[in-house]
Structure formats: C-alpha cells, structure tokens
Structure 1
Amino acid sequence: MQVMRDLSYVGGEPKLEATLKQEFSDFQVDEELGFELAGEGDHLWLNVRKTDLSTTDVARRLAEGCGVKLKTIGYSGMKDRRGECTQWFSLPLTSQEEAKLVNVEGDGLVEVLQTQRNTRKLKIGSHKSNHFKILLRNCAGSRLDFDQRLDSVKALGAPNYFGLQRFGRNMSNMAQVEALMEQALKPEADVIALRGQMGRVKRGMLFSAARSYVFNHLLSKRIRDGNWNSYVAGDVLNLNGTSRFFAPREPEVWDSELQRRLEEFDIHISGPLAGKKDSKDRYASSSEAADMEEVVLKEFELLVKGLAHFDVLASRRSLRFLPVDLSWNWPDTDTSDLLIEFKLPRGTYATSLLREICLTG
C-alpha cells in the first residue's frame, strides 16, 4: 500500500531534509473561527491551548472534568497532537458550572485562554482557517534551495493531498476499511449489521480514509501528467474558499476569463471524493476529465464500490491550495533552523505544503 512519499511532487522529490516537531513549540497552530459569537446562550465556547494532546483527548478531559457527556462536546477540526495548538471547543455548561473548568487545567497540558457564550454547539468544519508557525530544525541543504522551493509554493500553490494522519498509524485505517468493504460486498452481507458493529465516529473515520486515499492517487496522477493546475475538457471547478463547484457550460470551451481566474487562484480544478453518485448532480466531470478520473476509480474499485454500497455520497475537492501570507526566515545565522508562517483554509494540511519543501523526520 502506497504512503505519502510515493505520491507525486510538483517540483520533484526534494533532496533537502529537516527535523520537524523536535520540540512541541516547533509546531504551533492557531484556529481562527472567522465569525462572531452571540455572547449569550446555553453553550460555553472555550478557546483552548493544548500541548501533546489530541483534540479527542481534550474533549474527553472536558467531559470528565465538567461532568457532561462526551457527545455534547463540540469542536470544529482535529489538531495535531505533537505541537502547541489553540482551538475552540463548546459544551453545555451553565454560568454556575463554569468553575468546573479548573478540573481540566491541572497538569498544564490544557490552558483555557478565553470563554464566550453562544446559542449553538460548535460543529465539525465550522472554522475558517488555521494559522501555522513551524520551525524546521537542522535543515540539510543550501538556504538558496529551501528559498527556491518555498518561492515555488508561493507562486504555484501546493497539491491538496490529505495528510498521513488521515490514514491512521501505519495506515491502519486503510487495512480496516478494506476488510470492511470486502465483507460488505459479499452477496450474503448484512450492511445494517455491519454498520452497527462500529460507532458513527469510527465508521466515518474509515470512510473518510478510503475517499482520501483514492483522491490522493488521482491528484498524484494529474501531477505526473502535468495538468494538476490546468484545465482539461470536462473538469469541474471549485470557487476559492468555498464548497461551491461549477462547470463551464460547454466542457470543450475554455475562455480567457476562466484562465485568468484560474491563474489568480479565484477558482481551482477539482477531483472526486468517491461515493454514491447523485443522478441530479449537475457538477459531475465529463469528457476527457471524466475519463482520467475513471482510470483511477477503477484502480481502487473495492473502495469505490464499498463507499457507494454504504450510501456515502460522492463529492469533490480542490486539487490545490494557496497558503495565505506565506513567509519564512532564518532566525539565527549560527544555526540551520528555518521558521515558516502561513494560513491555510480548513481541511488542508500543513504537511502537504512541507513535503514540497523538504523531507522531514
């Protein structure tokens, strides 16, 4: 089974190397909501800084420390365990019960930075972006080469690969989902019973891993073919910063205005997230683009058929992303450490940017 390093690189596999996450403070992430809270309501929202804990670890601490059910804890996205990350959580806690938060902060791994009230629970995928501050240590290779690869990402964007964490430790999620699909596609299989054998969260994680794996390989193929960021007849386009898609009225016609928008990152080429196709979907690929996608979908027929069998709806995802406010510097002339800062929209991975720069250990 292929892993991230086997996927195509825009600038070829880097010869540069660096150490990532040597210290927790080397990998800092700040979640940005992008909207205002009501200031009142039954849900207490917390801006939390966590260190060496996963998002679900913090959710469990909040549930246990505040005496609420785990399923009532809300968060928008999963953040890296090994790092210093701030993110928002919500829980149904009255003003009189807020003192219970002291039970969460005991060992210093969790710090509540801010609290606000809101009328609704925080839902998955609600935040706008993440701000990253990453220190790469022990950079092996010339500073000029590092700078050139960063300049390339700044100009071209980066492939919108799903990160390795999506697939579980040692690709364990993929092994589990393949076994599940093989069982589900047997003629005698009871899909309802199979659904019941695992919780909704676990099931969603496995389905997500399957779709991500197929998408990554489609993107890798388009990079190899040299058209990951250029229009192919029948492509479906994504409007930057949104989950909205559209296709040119005539797939074979590509005009100068669309080309300008593509070059300015106002729109992006998209690829399929495999699943059950809706006959009413107006934005399915066609023509040459559909043929290219079908080649990859057939290569992973077990996963594709299994996702449809479980009624997971097909969707799409941009093939690239452009980091916002990407900057970097070499803080100390006596060391080989490189500090990189940038913002990414939700759903994109900093590691997918970093892999275009250097190999990390």
Structure 2
Amino acid sequence: MTRRGKGRFGGRGHWRGRGRGRGGYGRTSSESVDPEVPGSQGAETEGTEEGGQEEQGEMEGTVLKEGDVGITEYISSTPGFRAIIKLRYSDFIVNEIDEEGKLVKLTNLDVDPTLIQAMEEKEGEEGEDDSGLEGVLSPEQKEMLDDFNANPDGNRTIDICSPDDKDTRTKLHKVVKELYKNLESDSFFENETKFIRITAKGKGNRAAGHFNRQRPEWPTGCGNYCRFVLYKENMDTIEAIYKLSKFFHINKNMFQFAGTKDKRAFTSQDVTVYRVKAERLASANRHLYQIRLGNFRYVDRPLKLGQLSGNRFTIVLREVTGSEEVINTALESLKTHGFINYFGMQRFGTTSIPTYTVGKELLRGNFKEAGELILQPRAGEKEYLTQCRKSWWKDKNCMQMLSALPRKYNIERALLEGLIKYGENNYANAFQMIHRNTRMLYIHGYQSYIWNCVVSRRLKEFGLKPVVGDLVYKGDLKDLATKDENQPSGANGNTEDSSNSSRLTPAVVTEETLSQYTIQDVLLPLPGFDVLYPENKVGMWYTELLAADGLTVEGLKNPNKQYALTGRYRRLIVLPNDLKWQLYMYSDYTKQLTQSDLDLIQEKPEPTSDPDGNTKALKIELSLPQSCYATMALREILKIDTSSAYQITLNPSIKPDQSATAEVVTETQNQQQTSDT
C-alpha cells in the first residue's frame, strides 16, 4: 500500500556562503541526466527564471509545494528521518555512466604520450603518401597550384572543370587538401556545368553560391573529435562549456555532451570537441578555476544528447536525526522496493507560477498569456527587480524594462527583445527569440505535471501491483523511443538520435498475462499524440486532466511542430542500482565527507568518522537511469519535503525571515509537528 504525503510547501533558498564546497542550501537535489531539460537534472542554467502571479499586477506570496505538482505518495510506510541535503556542494558528487554502462571518472589530467605520438605520426604521413594521387592534375594545373600555394592570394581563384567520375573528383579534392596546405577546394555549378574552385584557405566566397568555412587542420585517419572527461565544481554544464569556449576562442557549438549535470555538486562527464588537440585541451588545467579536463582520446563520432545510461550519485546528508535502526530500515526498503519515479520539484521551477502553467498556455496557443506569466512580478525577488516588473506591468514599456533588467535574466530579456522587434502584442514571434531548449522546458514541464498527477492517482486507486489494462515492458525503454520533434539540443545543437524505424510498443496486461508482471514493469506515458495509453481507467484520466486545461490528446499534434508533443514512456517505479550507505560522526560542518575524482588524483586521505563527533551524517551511493531524480529517492527514505524552502529551515546557519516562503515553511512545520503528535 502506498503512503500519502502532505503536499508540503517548496521554494528557493537564498543564503549562500563562501569558499570551496560551502554555501547554504540552494537546490534540493539532482536528477540523473534528463536530456529534455537544459541545465536540468537539478541543473537549471543561470537566468532560467519563470513565474508570475494569479492576479494581474499583484504579488503572489504562495510558494510551490509538492502537492501542487502531483507529488503525494510514498511506496513504503517505514518512518522517515530529518536531514539536510546539500549543506555543502561537496556533499553531492555525480559521475556519468556512459552508453556502454561504464562509469565516467577523471583519473588522469595528462595527455598520454602515445596519443601525442600517434597524432604526430598521422601528421607526418600527410605529405609523404601521395600514392594514388598521381595523374589527377595536369602539369599545367599542378604548376598553377604550386604557385598559388606558395603565394596564397585571397583575391585569386582557380576553377577546374569537374571530372565526370566521382572517384576522380574525390581524389582531386584530396590532392588539394593533402598537398596544398594553404589552399582549399569546393564544388559549384555555372551554366549547368560543374566546376571545382580552388581558393586560399579561409577566403572562400559566395560567388559560387556556396560559402567555405575555414576548417582546423587535422590529419587524415585520426578521429575528428577529442573525447575527454569534464570535471567541474559548483557550476552547471552550460556554464563550463561557455568558459571553455572563451578560453580556447572557439564556438561553443564545437562541444558536445550527453546531458547537463548539477550546478551545486562535483560532477564528471564525457564531452567531445571537434578537431581540438588533447595537448591544447590539457592546457586549460593550469588556468581555469573549478574545471579540470582529462582522460583524452580521439574518436570518430561526437556525443549526442541522451547518449548515456545514467548517473552514479554520492550524496551526504547532514544533521541526521534518525536512529541507526530507522535509517537502515528506510534504506533497505529503498533497495528492495525502489521509489516512485516522480519528476522532482526542480522540474517545475521555484516561483509561485510553475513552468507547467506557462507550458499549458503555450500548448493552447495563448502566447500573450504565457509571455505575461514570465514577465509579471513575483514574490521573493529583490526590490529593484520587483519594481522593474511592476513598472512593465503598468506601462508595458519593453525598452525600459530591458534596460533595467540584469543580463542573467536571459529568458525575460529575449522575450522583451522579441516584443521590441516584432511588436508589443506579437508574443508568438517574440517567443522565437527564446532558445528552443528553454521554450521546451515549459512544454515538457506540463507533460511532467500531468504524469505526476496520473501516477499519484494510479497508486492511490490500484496500489503497488499491475492491473488489467496497464502498459508494461521488461526491456530497455530506449527501444520504445518515439521520434520527438521537440528533443532539445545541447551546446552543440545536436538533437538526440531517437529515430527508430522498427519501434517497439509496450504490452497491454490481460487477465492471462497478469501474473507475468510486477509493478516495476508498469509504464505510464507522458501525454502526446503518438503513444499508447493504458486500456483501463488510467487512460481516461489523461483525457480528463487535459480537458480540464482546455486540451485534447489529438490537439497535442500541434500544426506548429515546435509545440507538438509525440509523448514517450516512463517507468512508474525505479530501483536504484548498487545502493550503499555509511554513517559518519562529525563536529565541524565544513569537514568534507566525500572524495571527488580530483581528490583521488591528488591522493587526499579518505574521510573518516570522528569518534568524538556530536553530529551524524549519512553518505549514500546509488546509480539511477537517465531522467530519474535523486531527490525523489531521498524523499522516499526521509519522508520530508525535498524543497529548498523546507531544507533551509533545517540549517542552523540561516536566520529566520518574514518572507512568504518562510511563513509557508513555518506553517508546514507546524502541520508536521501536529501530525507527529
């Protein structure tokens, strides 16, 4: 039987300290990489603020609570205990698990000498092996190219009539690439005749109807991408990539990764970069703060979003109040029965208007309402921001608000720039100024809200067992992936390769097959027009919830493909893999109780328990599939609110305040104390 939560309140903590691994509670937890949400996975990127209020122009004091986003149930009835999550960002370590199931760890900061040697050998072979290229150029052509290569003039071009044979054309391009280092070639048509144009490198022009971009020199036969481990501290993946692109003076789109990782954490993940040598990448280790690169190798293909199996988490809970018996019982239950695979609170934002309300208006085509929700005043902000928003709400002066708004509020700024460009009432076009990934954050937030609500009702009515009509699947959910036009791109702009011409579908439980499945096989779809729905009452609940918001399943096939939702499948219950835990005693809250990859490289001693310590900590290690929220696993064992608003009240370093968040948290604590008695 599932156990119900109390729909406790949430919000954002505002206190932060200084120094490595220090600072107050800022985020509730992490999620195993979710490629749908940029900077998700508890990794919201800076400036992804959203929200508003219910009454126009008025400040709304209520903060988001778990019950508002459908999070109400527990699997077990075991008692929970209180603890602080992420008192220090060193209390949260995330290691990516790659697509082959291998743990991604930073183990070496240096470039393997054999890698350098192999690259040099490839470069040495470039000018030596001309076999197969003889006879491609006539003596006259060779003489002209020799002269052009020796004196590369940006205003000069040489046009050669393109051979009819494809192999010969390929060899001609190869001759230019390998024998003439200062030149480059491209094909074009003129009067229905195909030519090959030779230009000085970087001086290609549009006269041929094609623009040549200068490409980095790279030896033939060496993988075009350098794959490395990115280790970062207290910054999200997007911020780290931005720092690397600035340091190396290259476009951020040259980098690719499988998913974003948490900001308030120590994290390690694989990244690929196009045609940048390992030695150059390693030079960043001497200059960049809180970033380290290592484990370099050359590969043929870039990483794509979603190209991972999951994440390994090492989490320290501090100020633990439970007895050892209570803690062990709760964790044994998590190990055996798992947790409800809810989308965590960070999926829905942290203000009084969650992301899903903006997403609902976008799906309904109400762009003006969606835009106003983003720009309206909201509680909990600094006074100058509140006045900035109120001034806009009163006068709708976009230019004035844009000039007053700090640059980190990139969503609001992009929307305002769109309104200035397209007209103050043209919200539909103005939304195009917001990065596509961010726009989809709102849409997918609505999907997540519906999914959470259906899950809670499913568990309340049918419990922890399959029923006839449920959708089930025992294999890898990637085999069920639909081709989703709304898959977001990363810094590289690539989308997840989810095309699957032989797509499998879940099975529907019948009376005859009921005994073959457990609750861990049950799936529920995220709403969309291209997924199956349960063939029982659960399927009807989707229709009811969508109808209450003025939507239909068929309507999710939006004529505007940017806002169309195909849907996908998600497991109802998740079992953590390789779950381990250990209790520590300590007195100094700054004492580090984890070992990061960098700590291991630097051979720092393993943390130990202080026998004279007066405070208890719990270290938990577990692996989760991608798109699973570690917060929801912690929620199952703690039986307390995972929101930052509640967590900051457990931190003795934080002084009480009179904000709306503090008032709501006080009310929540009073309710909990009443229920405990």
**Whole-Å separation in 1 of the counterparts to 2:254 and 2:511:** 49
- How far off its partner does 1:11 sit? 2.9
Alignment deviations for residues 99-123 of structure 1 (CA, whole Å, 9 cap, x no partner): 1553476343111132222111211
Q: Which residue of 2 aligns with 1:72?
A: 254
Rounded Cα–Cα distance in structure 2 between residues aligned with 1:198 and 1:303: 26
Pairing 1:354–2:634 present? yes
Counterpart mapping for 1:194-273 below 5 A: 196-227=432-463, 229-245=464-480, 246-248=505-507, 251-256=510-515, 258-259=516-517, 262=518, 265=520, 268-273=521-526
Cα deviation for residue 127 of structure 1 reads 0.9
Indicate if the aligned counterparts of 1:55 and 1:81 stay in contact, CA closer than 8 A.
yes
CA contact (8 A) 2:477 2:569 kept: no
Structure 1 residue 87: deviation in Å?
A: 0.9
Equivalent in the alignment of 2:208: none
Deviations 1:275-297 (A, max 9, x none): 2x13xx5x442233423443444
Alignment of 1:70-109 (within 5 A): 70-95=252-277, 98-103=279-284, 106-109=287-290
Task: Work out whether residues 330 and 338 of structure 1, in 8 Å CA contact, stay in contact via their aligned partners in 2.
Answer: yes
2:343 is equivalent to residue 343 of structure 1: no
The residue aligned with 1:130 is: 311
2:98 to 23, 33, 51: 33
Q: Which amino acid aligns with 1:251?
A: T
Query: Is 1:161 aligned to 2:342, yes or no?
Result: yes
Distance 1:302 1:191, change over 3 A: farther
RMSD: 3.1
For 1:158 and 1:202, the matched residues in 2 are separated by 28
1:318 alignment partner in structure 2: 571
Asked whether the 8 Å contact 1:185–1:306 carries over to 2, the reply is no
**SS at structure 1 position matched to 2:308:** coil
> Are the structure 2 counterparts of residues 193 and 176 from structure 1 closer, same or farther at C-alpha, using a change threshold of 3 Å?
same
Q: Distance in 2 between matches of 1:12 and 1:249?
A: 30
**More strand by proportion, 1 or 2?**
1
Deviation at 1:98, TM superposition (A): 4.4
**1:197 Cα offset (Å):** 3.9
Q: Check conservation: 2:580, 2:620, Cα contact below 8 A.
A: yes
Worse-superposed segment, 161-170 or 135-144: 161-170
Q: 1:74 is paired with a residue of what secondary structure? A: strand
CA distance in structure 1 between the aligned counterparts of 2:99 and 2:270, rounded to whole angstroms: 12
Does the 8 Å contact 1:271/1:316 carry over to 2?
Answer: yes
* Identity, % of aligned positions: 25
Residues 244 and 251 (structure 1), Cα distance of their counterparts in 2 relative to 1, 3 Å cut: farther
User: What are the superposed Cα offsets for residues 248-291 of structure 1, whole Å, 9 maximum, x if unpaired?
Assistant: 466343343x23xx26x5xx21112112x13xx5x442233423
**Hey, what's the Cα distance between the residues in 2 that align with 1:254 and 1:312?**
31
Asked if structure 1 preserves the Cα contact closer than 8 Å seen for 2:309 and 2:626, the reply is: yes
Gaps of 5+ in 2: 1-62, 105-114, 116-221, 369-424, 481-504, 586-610, 648-677
From the superposition, tell whether residues 319 and 81 of structure 1 become closer, same or farther in structure 2 (CA, over 3 Å).
same
For each residue in 1:33-65, what CA deviation from the matched residue of structure 2 results, as whole angstroms up to 9, or x when unmatched? 14389x951111221111100111112112222
1:316 offset after TM fit, Å?
1.5
Paired residue secondary structure (1:243) = helix
Residue 87 of structure 2 is aligned to residue 22 of structure 1 = yes
Using the alignment, how far apart are the partners of 1:210 and 1:13 within structure 2?
31
* Deviating more after overlay: 204-213 vs 46-55: 204-213
Kindly indicate whether the alpha-carbon contact (under 8 Å) linking 1:233 and 1:289 is maintained by their aligned counterparts in 2.
no
- Report SS of the residue matched to 2:478: coil
TM-fit CA distance, 1:204: 2.3
SS, match of residue 512 in structure 2: coil
Residue aligned with 2:543, SS: helix
Q: Give the structure 2 partner of residue 176 of structure 1.
A: 358
SS in 1 for 2:445: helix
How far off is 1:345 after superposition?
1.1
State the TM-score, normalized to the length of structure 2: 0.47
CA distance in 2, matches of 1:224, 1:319: 13
- Write the letter of the residue equivalent to 2:307: S
Decide whether aligned partners of structure 1 residues 290 and 84 sit closer, same or farther in structure 2, where only a CA change above 3 A counts: same
Moved more, 18-27 or 298-307: 298-307
Which amino acid counterpart does residue 28 of structure 1 have in structure 2?
Answer: I
Within 2, Cα distance between the matches of 1:32 and 1:247? 26
**Distance across 2 between alignment mates of 1:85 and 1:306:** 40
Q: Offset at 1:338?
A: 0.7
Give 1:214 shift: 1.4
Q: Which amino acid in the other structure matches residue 341 of structure 1?
A: E
The CA distance in 2 between the partners of 1:355 and 1:140, in whole Å, is: 15
Opposite residue 447 of structure 2, the aligned amino acid is: R
Unmatched 5+ stretches in structure 1? none
CA contact (8 A) 1:235 1:286 kept: yes
Sort the Cα spacing of 1:154 and 1:286 in 2 relative to 1 into closer, same or farther, 3 A.
Answer: same
Q: Deviations over 1:148-207 (max 9, x none)?
A: 221111111111111222223336533432443454489xx9997466343222222222
Report if aligned partners of 2:236, 2:260 keep a CA contact under 8 Å in 1: yes
Q: Distance in 2 between matches of 1:179 and 1:104?
A: 45
Q: Distance in 1 between matches of 2:78 and 2:453?
A: 16
* 1:327 pairs with 2:576: no
Distance in 2 between residues matched to 1:201 and 1:5, nearest whole Å: 27
Q: Indicate if the aligned counterparts of 2:362 and 2:443 stay in contact, CA closer than 8 A.
A: no
Structure 2 Cα separation of the partners of residues 255 and 182 of structure 1: 38
TM-score by length of 1: 0.84
SS at match of 1:114: strand
The one-letter amino acid of 1:254's match is: T
Deviation, structure 1 residue 144: 1.7
How far has the Cα of 1:232 moved from its partner?
2.1
> SS of the residue aligned with 1:29?
strand
CA distance in 2, matches of 1:26, 1:286: 44
C-alpha distance in 2 between matches for 1:19 and 1:306: 43
Kept in 1: contact 2:508–2:534 (CA 8 A): no
Contact 2:467 2:509 in 1 (8 A): no
Pick the structure with greater CA Rg: 2
Q: Which amino acid aligns with 2:570?
A: R
Aligned-partner Cα distance in 2 for 1:71–1:328: 40
Q: Secondary structure at the match of 1:208?
A: helix
